[in-house]
Structure 1
């Protein structure tokens, strides 16, 4: 024998051996009753009487078990439960609702067993009933949550369908707008060129003696050039968009691409200082012309809108934010009043420094290309201190 077998068991409290079986039956944590094969109650424990609010005299030999059920439960008992008892001798965990004397109902689970006499004739049915009020509440809550989830899923599906339709509409509208802009700019270019030619011939063949007329001629010439520049910009934006749709994505090394752009810009601003740091993200996966256009516009703007009183300093870098690449271009230029111009920062033809020559299409194009790549642009800027453009791209 093991040491464990030699250990003495704790002494049993003798009071536990004096458990009264009748008391246990009457006050069990579940309802007990016995009934004849036709359902007539012949014995009911006190727990069940307390649940239903009846006295023993009101039920025993006066009521049938099925009469304590709701109408639906009674029909099920007589057509399903009673035949099963006769066929297989027992039923387990059938959900019913009992009718209390006061009129309310009590949800229960019923187990029943049919006992037979020595001649195999049905003698008595012993029934055990479990109060499942809390369980039923929990089931109702689950059902309600399921219904709400289904409703929300349906609403989300409808919202997704609507979003798809809206996106398709926006895509068609954008395509129509691009076609319109391209056609309009193309159709306008010829008459504007004719006006430029006629105006040039007018300046060569006509002598203006009035000084005011000379000033007006200059203003008219400047306006014509602005119109030509706008038309050329519109044509370029749409044309570039169409060309980019045909270009496939590739892995682009940022260092050589940026150095190439800086070399193309440096003759215009020999004193600018460029700092390049692509250690965090040395390459980006996108179309090369798109990336080139983004960087070119941001770097050329940084040079164009430099603060005259100090040497331009431009930093181009990358970082990882939540696992996604971020491309930043920071300058120490004139800056932008974001409180005043923030909402219109990326709109077409918006210019915030009229004293500097420009078309107002650079930032519009940058924002459009970034959105096409699945990212977004954030800007920090202070007047007289400089600006930082951060391009957040997808992983």
Structure 2
């Protein structure tokens, strides 16, 4: 070290080297005591006396260390700690409660060593005690929080079981209702068709009312069909049989069934080069693509040629099936949290049951994937289906 470096060091306050050893012992941040092998106290520091509330003369040569412990602590000291000291000459971090003069207690951790004389006989026990009041409070708070968490978990389990029961009852109700309503609704359609064929309406407004009634009947039947689909989906097992499905021909078949929905026909662009095949239940993939593609055709913009792009890609080990259109779009700022909810519709002027996107998300989740959506009003919507490879 150079002379310049020495000069830059701060001057050492020599008073720090003159610490009084007795002062250090008496006012240490922990309790010290010494006792004979039978526990008789022979020396205590002021810190420990302050904790206990005793005068020195009340304890030295008059009381034993174990007498400063609670009943349980005294029993542990005599049956465990004292024998262990004789065997290994030390014990570490044993938790006890010290009894104060006023009857209250202070939690401590005790470390002790046994010193022997020249003949190897026990001579004196030196004990160090650390106040762990704050630590004990923290531990108790953790235990309380753990107990509360356990209670909450049990409560959630009960609520979850109750919700499962309610959902099962709702499924049964919806299934029964949709099944029981389907036949009367179909009968109404047949009766109305017969009424139109045989009856003569003289009211000039009758034509419009007939059209409105037909639309209402179609909506009722569509809702009933949608309810049936939802319940059937809920009742399907989590693991359905999967098979490799070539996307090109599979998607083309769906498109052919959908083209009559729009005039002029839509333009579809397909690109499955990145992932030409998906392993999924065939019915699930058909329902998913059918709902997304039919929505793309239903929510077109008047005067604009409908265009739909369907493609695949690989991202972070997942196959991504993308369906994009140039239709009306959805205001995600307002409805982003509702897109996949049951019975939610954002263009009421277009016929629909509000079940299609709900089914799409459930089917994708059953396959172990997830769905993301981007949309701009009057520009179009993009759905990305992240599926296991």
TM-score (norm 1): 0.69
Task: State which of 205, 217, 228 in structure 1 corresponds to 2:206.
Answer: 217
Aligned match for 1:299, one of 268, 276, 293: 293
* 1:74-89 correspondence to structure 2 within 5 Å: 74=74, 76-77=76-77, 80=79, 84=83
Match of 2:125 among 117, 124, 127: 127
Q: Which residue of 2 aligns with 1:34?
A: 35
Which sections of structure 1, spanning at least 5 residues, go unmatched?
A: 1-21
2:43 corresponding residue in structure 1: 44
Using a 3 Å threshold, how does the CA distance of structure 1 residues 56 and 224 change in structure 2: closer, same or farther?
A: closer
Instruction: Summarize deviations over 1:195-216 as a string: whole Å, max 9, x none.
Output: 331332013xx7x4xxxx1x32
For residues 304-325 of structure 1, what are the alpha-carbon distances to aligned partners after superposition, in whole Å with 9 as ceiling and x for unaligned?
Answer: 4333433322111334566554
SS of the counterpart of 1:255?
helix
DSSP-derived class of the 1:132 partner: strand
Give distance in 2, aligned partners of 1:240 and 1:161.
29
- Aligned pairs for 1:116-195 within 5 A: 126-134=124-132, 137-138=134-135, 141-142=138-139, 144-195=141-192
Contact 2:321 2:385 survives alignment (8 Å): yes
2:373 and 2:84 mapped to 1: Cα distance?
78
- Alpha-carbon distance between aligned partners in 2 of 1:308 and 1:202, rounded to the nearest angstrom: 36
Q: Which residue of structure 2 lines up, in the alignment, with residue 332 of structure 1?
A: 326
3-state SS, counterpart of residue 388 of structure 1: strand
Q: How does the TM-score come out when normalised to structure 2?
A: 0.70
Number of the residue aligned with 1:66:
66
Deviation at residue 166 of structure 1 after TM alignment: 0.3
1:14-72 alpha-carbon deviations (Å, 9 max, x no partner)? xxxxxxxx9899789873523374x444x326xx3443246765544344333444455
| Mapped partners of 2:31, 2:346: distance in 1 | 82
RMSD: 4.4
Q: Secondary structure at the match of 2:328?
A: coil
1: distance between equivalents of 2:83 and 2:384? 75
Residue 174 (structure 1) shift: 2.3
C-alpha spacing 1:315/1:62, structure 2 compared with 1 (3 Å)? same
Q: Does 1:253 align with 2:252?
A: no
- C-alpha offsets along residues 102-123 of structure 1, whole Å, 9 cap, x if unaligned? 87746242536597999x9xx8
Match of 2:197 among 185, 195, 200: 200
Change in 2 beyond 3 A, CA 1:340/1:202: farther
Relative distance call for 1:193 and 1:87 in structure 2 (3 A) is same
Label 1:302 to 1:99 Cα distance change in 2 as closer, same or farther (>3 A): closer
Asked if 1 retains the 8 angstrom alpha-carbon contact of 2:109 and 2:129, the reply is yes
| Bigger radius of gyration among the two | 1
Q: Distance in 1 between matches of 2:267 and 2:110?
A: 83
2: CA distance, partners of 1:229 / 1:88:
91
**2:321 alignment partner, SS class:** strand
Instruction: Report the CA distance shift for 1:80/1:180 in structure 2 as closer, same or farther (over 3 A).
Output: same
* Structure 2, unpaired ranges of 5+: 1-20
Decide whether the 8 Å contact of 1:34 with 1:126 is kept in 2.
yes
3-state DSSP of counterpart to 2:303: coil
Specify the alignment match of 2:4 in structure 1. Answer: none
* Structure 1 CA distance for aligned equivalents of residues 346 and 79 of structure 2: 83
Deviation at 1:219, TM superposition (A): 1.8
Instruction: Report if aligned partners of 2:182, 2:221 keep a CA contact under 8 Å in 1.
Output: yes
Q: 1:289 deviation in Å?
A: 2.3
Q: Within 5 A, what are the aligned runs for 1:225-240? A: 225-238=214-227, 240=229
Cα distance change on mapping 1:168 and 1:378 into 2, 3 Å: farther
Structure 1 pair 66–25 and aligned structure 2 pair: CA distance change class (3 A): farther
Aligned to 1:382: 376
Checking the alignment, whether the CA contact within 8 Å between 1:182 and 1:234 is kept in structure 2 is no
Cα separation, partners in 2 of 1:25 and 1:35, compared to 1, 3 Å: farther
Matching of residues 356-395 of structure 1 within 5 Å: 359-361=351-353, 364-374=355-365, 377-392=371-386
Q: What's the offset of the Cα at 1:360?
A: 0.7
Counterpart Cα distance in 2 of 1:240 and 1:25 = 82
Count of aligned pairs: 353
Does the residue aligned with 2:355 lie in a helix, a strand or coil? helix
Cα gap change, 1:383 to 1:169, in 2 (>3 Å): same
